[in-house]
Amino acid sequence: MRVAVIGAGSWGTAVSWLLGGTGVDVTLWAREPEIAEGINTTHRNPMFMTDVVLGERVTATPDIAQAVTGAEAVIVVTPSHGVRGTAEAMAPFLAQSTPVVNLSKGVEQGTLMRMTEVLEDVLGNRDRLGALSGPNHAEEVSKGVPSAAVIAAYDPDVARTIQQLFMAPTFRVYTNADVVGVELGAASKNVIAVAAGMSDGLGYGDNTKATLMTRGLAEMSRLGVHLGANPLTYMGLAGMGDLIATCTSRHSRNRALGEWVARGGTVESYAAETHMVAEGAASAISLSDLGDSIGVELPITHQVRGILHEGQPPSAAVASLMGRSAADELHGLGLIEDGE
């Protein structure tokens, strides 16, 4: 089987390593020609995950037409803000029946579309689309650390195909029919992780982080349920699993961004220092807008947006969250009636 992996950052490199190790022929598309050249000559990505040795079955190209033409599946691993442009570049060379799987975690600003909705808008044929998510740091997956993920697709046959494609001795994949929940969980947990990082940066303790994670999960679920997601999805790998990893890990870009900002940095200085994209920064805007558009309260997301983009001091956000009106713990999840 030949698969195209679109995006040669950390996660794209790790996915290529994983698939190449299972006997799949991988063509990795890199926007930068020097990355493609480095991979083809040294079997290493010269910019991201530089210690990972890619197998003989992994080749790279800066030509997206070459990457996707004839591929039996396409795995999209670009930052979420680049998914639409990448899909437009792929479209002329991609067969209508080729499965396309999104691994990017975000909601498009302006349109407020999930990533498979963006792909459908550009490529058509929703039935061949899916999303893979879970508590998967590239640094650990590429070292063979036992990990798991969930694939959600509109067509069960596509889900099973991708499940078998990714299954490996150190990588287990489950299926889930809830594309909405899996994608929204993937996007919204990044914002909660930024808040968790801010808690670390402010010197708060385990009580605070546990509270943020738990109420963050409620906030994530509340948004998903209002948009048709299965609330049980948020108890799974794309919800609680990914939330735990992203809020607590030393590998988490979003947690690190929050800590950086709480100690006086900015989103721009973090990107300049690390050369990494923390998706939670953009998602704080798009998810806040999405919640407002459907009348769903997202208090943690709103405060993260205020701190990252509107100059609000973290201390003011803490006071605002702690001073909210008393409420039932399950309020807004559709599990109780208002006022009970």
| CATH number, domain containing residue 172 | 3.40.50.720
What pTM was computed for the model? 0.92
Find, among 73, 130, 66, the residue nearest to 93 by Cα. 66
Q: pLDDT for 260-307, tens place per residue?
A: 999 999 999 998 888 877 888 999 999 999 999 999 999 999 999 999
Q: Are strands 58-61 and 25-29 parallel, antiparallel or unpaired?
A: parallel
Token pair 């030509």 is found at 63
334 pLDDT band, cuts 50/70/90, is low
Same domain for 291 and 280: yes
In this predicted structure, the answer to whether residue 199 has a pLDDT above a threshold of 90 is yes
Same domain for 305 and 161: no
CB 184 within 8 A of CB 220: yes
Q: pLDDT for 136-192, tens place per residue?
A: 999 999 999 999 999 999 999 999 999 999 999 999 999 999 999 999 999 999 999
Provide mean pLDDT across the span 199-227: 95
> Which structural domain, as residue segments, surrounds residue 195?
180-322
The answer to which of 35-39, 235-239, 249-253 has the lowest mean pLDDT is: 249-253
| CATH number, domain containing residue 234 | 1.10.1040.10
Domain boundary among 158, 177, 196: 177
Find, among 213, 195, 180, the residue nearest to 284 by Cα. 195
Catalytic residue among 105, 143, 189, 209: 189
In this predicted structure, the answer to whether residue 259 has a pLDDT above a threshold of 70 is yes
Q: pLDDT for 232-247, tens place per residue?
A: 999 999 999 999 999 9
Question: Domain total for the chain?
Answer: 2
Domain boundary among 177, 198, 218: 177
What per-residue string of b and e applies to 95-113 under the rule 16 or more CB within 10 Å gives b? eeebbbbbbbbbbbbeebb
Asked about 189 being catalytic, the answer comes back as yes
335 pLDDT band, cuts 50/70/90, is low
